[in-house]
Chain A
Amino acid sequence: GQSLEQPSEVTAVEGAIVQINCTYQTSGFYGLSWYQQHDGGAPTFLSYNGLDGLEETGRFSSFLSRSDSYGYLLLQELQMKDSASYFCAVSGSSNTGKLIFGQGTTLQVKP
């Protein structure tokens, strides 16, 4: 089976940097993805780590350590529009298209 853990809520101020952690337990592992979801909206894909290390996409970066079964999403220069839920998701060891999501972290950005 697969299980993921991430904090339920994080609060930060505009302009700051915030890190959302994700730990996972899986019977097989292919990669870790991150998705953003605004209230009432659909999830949108942010980033993917298939290998250890840091992936950077603009203000967002994602990190993976396969040996620690751990990853994080780093959001820099926070803006009010970044207030949303963020989900980590794991894909299994064979590419079956089976993507399992964590419970999500609600990020509140304050002025």
Chain B
Amino acid sequence: NAGVTQTPKFQVLKTGQSMTLQCAQDMNHEYMSWYRQDPGMGLRLIHYSVGAGITDQGEVPNGYNVSRSTTEDFPLRLLSAAPSQTSVYFCASSGDGRYGYTFGSGTRLTVV
């Protein structure tokens, strides 16, 4: 099993550009989340989903959009990239929602 797959692994964007970070899981998990992690910091929740068609905002949702059209996929869209969005982005999924999240390997994003 692949688990949680994130693409791309690295990305450099110019200020104002938009892009989509992809996340797919093959474990039939209902719960999926996006986090960002800045150097020396914890994980901050951007958006999360409890199933296809249902999403909600986390701690730092501004500048990001999500949709969940299938159980497997949970893409994160950056609408207009800003240097403050330079970070490592992790996607995670869980079959329970309270614990046992499996994380993808991350996308390292730099906005210049």
Contacts and interface: CB of A to CB of B under 8 A. Distances in A.
B105 A42 contact: yes
A13 to B, nearest CB: 24
Interface residues of B, number: 30
Interface string A86-100: 010001000111111
B101 A101 contact: no
Interface in B67-108: 90, 92, 94, 96-106
Interface size class of A (residues with CB under 8 A): 20 to 34
B98 A45 contact: no
Interface in B23-75: 30-33, 35, 41-45, 48-50, 56, 58-59
Interface of A: 30-31, 33, 35, 41-45, 48, 50, 87, 91, 95-104
